[in-house]
Structure 1
Amino acid sequence: MTSVTPRPAGTLVVPAPRRASDLEQVPGPPRRSSWWASPGGSAVLGLLAATALTAVAVRGLGDDSYISLDYARTLVEHRQWGLVPGRGANTATSPLNVWLLALGLGVTGTVTGAVWGVLAAAFAVVGAGMSRIGRAIGASPLLPAVSLALLATSPLLASAVGLETYLGVAVVVAVAVAALEDRPVLVGVGCGLAVLVRPDYVVPVAVVVLLLLRARSPLAWLRRTATVAIVAGTVALPWHLWAWFELGGFVPDTFSFKTNPAAGHVPSLIAMFDSLYWSRTPVAVVVVGVLVLAGWTVALGAVAIGLRRAPRAALGAPSSPAAVIVAFAASGTAHIVALMVINAYPQAWYYGPLVAGCTLATAVVLEMRSHRAVLTGVAVYCVIAGLVAGQGGVPWRAADMNSNFTDAATYLAIGRDVSAVVGSAPVASPGEIGALAWGCRCDIVDQFSARGNARPLLDHRYDLGGPLSRAVLRLNARHRPDVPAPVPAYKLRYVRGDDPMPSEVVRTWWAISPQTGLPFRIVLVAAS
C-alpha cells in the first residue's frame, strides 16, 4: 500500500495527503499490492458489484429502461431499429446501450441476462480503470473497491439500471485512464464511444481530455487533440450519418421532446427538481447530495492549493491527484451546466454524470490514504445509501428515485392482458410505453414508437427555437420521412382520483403510484 502522509488540517473536508504539494506531484512507481487490487482483480470486483446490483434492481427497472430493451428486442428479432416491430423510430438516445442489450438478449434471451451483461461490462471497466488511475497517482489499492461501492449504492445511479448511465461512467473513466497513460488514439476511441452512449456525453469526456491529456507544448497538445477528434469522429460519425439518412435525424428525436428553449434561463433541471425528487424522495436526495457537495469541495480545494503554490500551473501535472480530482468533478459539473443551457427536462439519469463525477473525485481524495476511520465511514455511508435506494424492499419493485406512474411489474401484466384484447390492432399508450410494449408485444403507439406521432412535437420544438436553433433543426430534419400518424383502434388512459371514467371502456386495471402509494386506474377504451 502506498504511504501518503496527511495534509494540513482544514484544507479539505475529507482526508487527503499530508502536504499540499503532494496533490501536485507525480508519484513514483507504485508498490506491489494484492491481486484483487490489480486491474484484473478490480474488474472481478466490478463483476461482483454488477451481479449484486442486478439481483436487487432488475425487477424495478424504470420505464425508459424498458424502452431501450424494446429497441434491443426489435433489433434481435426483426433486424429493425424501432421500439415496436414494423415502425421505424429515432427515439433511442443511446445506440451503444441498445446494441449491448441486444447482444445480451441474443445470448441469454432474458431481461436479467441483458441488463447484467451491460452493467457487468461497465463496472468491470470502472474497476480496472480506477485501479490504473490509483497506481498512476499513488492512491490506496482500495480506490477501485471504494469507487465501485459508492457508485453501486447511489440511489440516483442505481435508479438508472438498464439505461446508459453506468456505461457513461465507464467511458469517462476509460478516457481518463487513456489520457493519463498518454494514449491519444485510445482517448479518441473513448470519446467516440461516449457520443454513442449519449450525444451529450461529449461534454464530460471533453473536460477530462482538456485536463488530463499530456503535451510538452501548446502545438503538441493541439496535434494530440486533433488526433483525438479524428479518431472519435471515425468511431461515432458512421452511426449518426446512417441515422440522419435512414431514421431522419442526426441526433435522436428525444432531443426535441425533452428540451424547451421557451423556458427561459431559469433551468428546468433546477426549477422542476423539487416537484419530481426533493418533495418525493428527500432522503435519497440528501444521500446523493452529500457526495456531490464533497466532490465540489475537494475539487475547489485542489484548485486552491495549486493556485497558492503554483499560479501558472494550478492543477500540477496531468497525472497528479489534483488534476484527476478536478477532472472528475468538473466533467459532471460541465455536463449538468450544458443541460441547463438547453433547458433539458429533469430526468433522474440526467444528473448521472454529475453524481458519478463527484463520487469518483471524493473516492480519490478518500483513498489518498487508506485509514481505518475512512474505510469505516465509507462502509457506513454505503449501507445507508443502499438501504435508502432499496427502502421498498429487496428485490426492488420500483427504484427509489423512479418517477414513473407505476411499477414495471404492473405495466408488464397489463401489457400481456392488452395483447389478448387488441391483437394486431394499434393501441395508443397512456403516456408511458416501455414496459407496456415489452409485455404486450403489440402495436402500441405514441411519439416514442411512431414517427407520425413524433412530428407535432418536432415541429413545436422548431417553432420555439431562434434563428440558429432553427437552422440546425432544419439540417437535422433534412431526411426526415413524412409518415402519417397511425390511427389507433384502442387507447390506454390513466384515471386518477375523482377523474370521470371515459366512455367505451373495454377493460380496467388498478395500479399504485410508487411515489405516493395512492391507487389509480388504467383503462383500455375503444377509439371513437
Structure 2
Amino acid sequence: MATGLEPSPTTVPDVPSPRDGVRGREFPRPSRSTLLIAAGGAVLGALLFVVAYRGMPDDSYITLDYARNLAELGHWGLTPFRDANSATSPLNVWLLAAGILVTGRPVVAVGLLLVATTALTAVWAASLAHAVRRRRVVVAGLVVGLVVTSPIFASVVGMEAFLAAALLVGVARYGAERRTVPAGVVTGLAVLTRPDLALPAVVVLAVLFLTPAPRRWGRLVRTLATAVAVALPWHVWSWFALGSFVPDSLVIKMGQSPPEGEAFGDGPLYLYERWPAAALLIGLVVVAGLLALGAAALALARGRGQLADRVVVACGIAGLAHYAAYAALGVAPYTWYYSPSLALLTVCAALGAAGHVAARSGAVTGLVLVVGLSAGVQVAPGVPWTAPIIFGNWTTADQYLAVGRELGAALPPGTSVQATGEIGLLAYACECDIVDGFADQRHIMVQVAALEQEAGPVTRLLLGVNYLHADRTPPRPFEYSLRFEPGSGDGPGWPTSGGPGRGAGRFVLGPAGPQIGWAG
C-alpha cells in the first residue's frame, strides 16, 4: 500500500543542478523542516557532550591547549613556553579558540563546537538525501544518531572527528549536486581539519563528477582548484612561520612502531579483543555500509543505478581507500584514525536503509536499534562518565588534571619538566613548561634527523622539503622529569588508579634524565 513516503523510482537526471554555477543566486531562508532537523542534530550533540565532557581523552586536551594559547596569548603551541606545530587539525583549533574567546571556558567551547557540528551534519545529510531522493529525516537521523552514539566517535569528543564527519558529508552533498565552488570550499576545509582527508574527499568528488558520461573534468578541476585555494595559504604560512608544511603530529605518528598485532590494519581485531561489545556495535554499522555499497555497485553495473547509488559507491570507495592507506602506512590503531572511514560507511548505511522499498522498514529499524544499543551500552555504567567505553589513556581525565595542578605547584618558577607518555591533560592543568615532542619542535627535529639518515632518497627529500624552514638548533634542556611507576604500593609522587592502558601507579617528579627526541 502506498504511504506517500516511498522515493520516486525515477532516476535522477544527470544534469547540472540549477543552483550550480548560477551567478547572483538568492539563497532562500531555511525551511521549517530544515531548522527542525538542525535542532535535532544539535540536541544529540548536546546530549553526548553532557555525558562525555568529564572523560575527554588526552589528545582532546592537546587540541584544547593549542586553542587556549591561541585565544589567550595569540601563540601557536601546546604550551606558552615553546614553539610547536603538532596540532593535527588547525581548523578545529581555530573554532575552539573562537569558542574560548566567547565563553572564556575551554571545555564549554568543546560543547558548543560539538553541538554546531552535529547540527551541520544533520542539515547536510538531509540535503544529500533530498538531492538523491531519499527521505530527509530518516537519512539525517540515522547519520547523526549512528555517529553520535558510535563508540569510536564518543571516545574522542573534543578532537576533530565530528568536524571531519560533517565535512565529508558536505563533500558528498555538494558533489552529488555537482556544485563546484561549495564542494571545493568544503574539501579545502576538510584538508584543514586533517590533511589525510584529502584522499577520501577527492575520491568522493572524482566518482561523482566523472561518472557517468559525460564526465565533468572541468568541474572537477575547478572544484579541486577551489579546495587548494582554501587550504594552501595556511600550509604555506605554516611552512615558513611554524617550520613545517604539515603538522608535526603526522611525522610523530608515522615514526612510531606499534607492537605486534596492534597496527592499524589489525585494529578491528584489537578492538574486539579489548572492547568486544563496542567492536560488535561498530561492526554492525560497517557491515550495513558495506552491504549498501555492494547493492549500489550491483545496481550501477546492471545499468539501473540512480544518483543515490553513485553517492553510496563514492562514499564507500572513499572510506575503504582511507582505511587501506592507513593500513599500508602501518601506523598504530589510534581510535580517531578510523573515524573518516566509519563516517563514510555510515552515510552508505543510512542511504541504503532509506532507499530499499521492500527491506526499508527492517533496515531502518535495525539501524535505529544499533543507535539505541550503542547509547545504552555506553551510559549503563553511569553518566557523566569518567572515561568512554573505548579508552587507552594511562589514567582518567580527573586524575590527570589533579596531578597536573599539583605538578604546576611543585615546579620552581622558570623550570621545565620532561613529560612521560601523555601530555595534553598535564599541560592543561599545570600551565607549566612541560616538554615532549608535541610541545617543542626542536625535540622533533632530533628524531627527524635520525629518520633522514635511515630513510630512502624519496622520504629523505620529502622530510627535507617539509622541514626546510624548521629551527634545527639543539633543544633547550629541562631540569626535571616526570615518570610513571606502575603498582599500587606506597611511595613518593601522585598515585592514580589508572586506566586499561596502564593500571594503578604513580607519577613521580625527579631530576631530568636524557634529552628526548620523540613523544612518548
TM-score by length of 1: 0.87
- Deviation digits for residues 413-460 of structure 1 (CA, Å, limit 9, x no counterpart): 110001111043101111100001101011111110012221222223
| Letter in structure 2 aligned against 1:180 | A
Residue 403 of structure 2 is aligned to residue 407 of structure 1: no
| Letter in structure 2 aligned against 1:47 | A
Q: Distance in 1 between matches of 2:256 and 2:299?
A: 39
Distance 1:526 1:164, change over 3 A: same
Q: Is the 8 A contact 1:37 1:131 kept in 2?
A: no
- Deviation digits for residues 275-308 of structure 1 (CA, Å, limit 9, x no counterpart): 5x3322121111101111221121012112221x
3-state DSSP of counterpart to 1:495: strand
Alignment of 1:125-524 (within 5 A): 125-140=120-135, 141-213=137-209, 221-260=216-255, 268-271=263-266, 274-275=269-270, 277-307=271-301, 309-310=302-303, 316=305, 320-368=307-355, 373-424=362-413, 425-497=415-487, 507-515=492-500, 518-524=503-509
Distance 1:460 1:294, change over 3 A: farther
Distance 1:214 1:133, change over 3 A: farther
Distance 1:470 1:273, change over 3 A: farther
| Letter in structure 1 aligned against 2:295 | G
Q: Distance in 2 between matches of 1:195 and 1:223?
A: 21
- Deviation digits for residues 242-268 of structure 1 (CA, Å, limit 9, x no counterpart): 110111110111121111498999992
Q: Is the 8 A contact 1:36 1:42 kept in 2?
A: no
| Unaligned segments of structure 1, at least 5 residues | 6-16, 30-34
Q: Is the 8 A contact 1:427 1:492 kept in 2?
A: yes
| Letter in structure 1 aligned against 2:509 | L
Q: Distance in 2 between matches of 1:265 and 1:225?
A: 41
3-state DSSP of counterpart to 2:221: helix
| Letter in structure 1 aligned against 2:407 | V
| Letter in structure 1 aligned against 2:63 | S
Q: Distance in 1 between matches of 2:212 and 2:324?
A: 31
Distance 1:229 1:393, change over 3 A: same
Give the drift of 1:213. Answer: 2.7
Q: Distance in 1 between matches of 2:129 and 2:276?
A: 33
Residue 6 of structure 2 is aligned to residue 4 of structure 1: yes
Give the drift of 1:37. Answer: 8.1
Distance 1:341 1:137, change over 3 A: same
Q: Distance in 2 between matches of 1:124 and 1:525?
A: 47
3-state DSSP of counterpart to 1:401: coil
Q: Is the 8 A contact 2:262 2:332 kept in 1?
A: no
- Deviation digits for residues 47-100 of structure 1 (CA, Å, limit 9, x no counterpart): 111111111111110100000000001101111100000311010000000001
Q: Is the 8 A contact 1:491 1:524 kept in 2?
A: yes
Give the drift of 1:374. Answer: 4.4
Give the drift of 1:517. Answer: 8.5
Q: Is the 8 A contact 1:261 1:465 kept in 2?
A: no
Q: Distance in 1 between matches of 2:253 and 2:512?
A: 28
Q: Distance in 1 between matches of 2:261 and 2:217?
A: 36
Q: Distance in 2 between matches of 1:185 and 1:25?
A: 22
Distance 1:464 1:171, change over 3 A: farther
Distance 1:121 1:469, change over 3 A: same
Distance 1:233 1:36, change over 3 A: closer
Q: Distance in 2 between matches of 1:46 and 1:203?
A: 27
Q: Distance in 1 between matches of 2:485 and 2:262?
A: 31
| Letter in structure 1 aligned against 2:337 | Y
| Letter in structure 1 aligned against 2:376 | L
Q: Distance in 2 between matches of 1:511 and 1:23?
A: 62
- Overall identity of the aligned pairs, in %: 34
Q: Distance in 1 between matches of 2:14 and 2:34?
A: 18
| Letter in structure 1 aligned against 2:317 | A
Moved more, 470-479 or 457-466: 457-466
Q: Is the 8 A contact 1:490 1:526 kept in 2?
A: yes
Distance 1:160 1:485, change over 3 A: same
Q: Distance in 1 between matches of 2:511 and 2:255?
A: 33
Q: Distance in 2 between matches of 1:81 and 1:516?
A: 30
Q: Distance in 2 between matches of 1:232 and 1:385?
A: 35
TM-score by length of 2: 0.88
Q: Distance in 2 between matches of 1:395 and 1:445?
A: 31
3-state DSSP of counterpart to 1:232: helix
Distance 1:37 1:510, change over 3 A: farther
| Letter in structure 1 aligned against 2:284 | V
Q: Distance in 2 between matches of 1:512 and 1:101?
A: 30
2:23 corresponds in structure 1 to none
Moved more, 124-133 or 93-102: 124-133
Q: Is the 8 A contact 1:328 1:360 kept in 2?
A: yes
Q: Distance in 1 between matches of 2:210 and 2:177?
A: 9
3-state DSSP of counterpart to 1:491: strand
Give the drift of 1:391. Answer: 4.7
Q: Distance in 1 between matches of 2:486 and 2:341?
A: 35
Moved more, 280-289 or 135-144: 135-144
Give the drift of 1:461. Answer: 3.2
Q: Distance in 2 between matches of 1:285 and 1:93?
A: 26
Q: Is the 8 A contact 2:488 2:504 kept in 1?
A: no
| Unaligned segments of structure 2, at least 5 residues | 18-29, 514-520
Q: Is the 8 A contact 1:122 1:170 kept in 2?
A: yes
- Deviation digits for residues 343-392 of structure 1 (CA, Å, limit 9, x no counterpart): 22221000001111111111111122686544543332212111333454
Alignment of 1:87-106 (within 5 A): 87-106=82-101
Give the drift of 1:36. Answer: 8.9
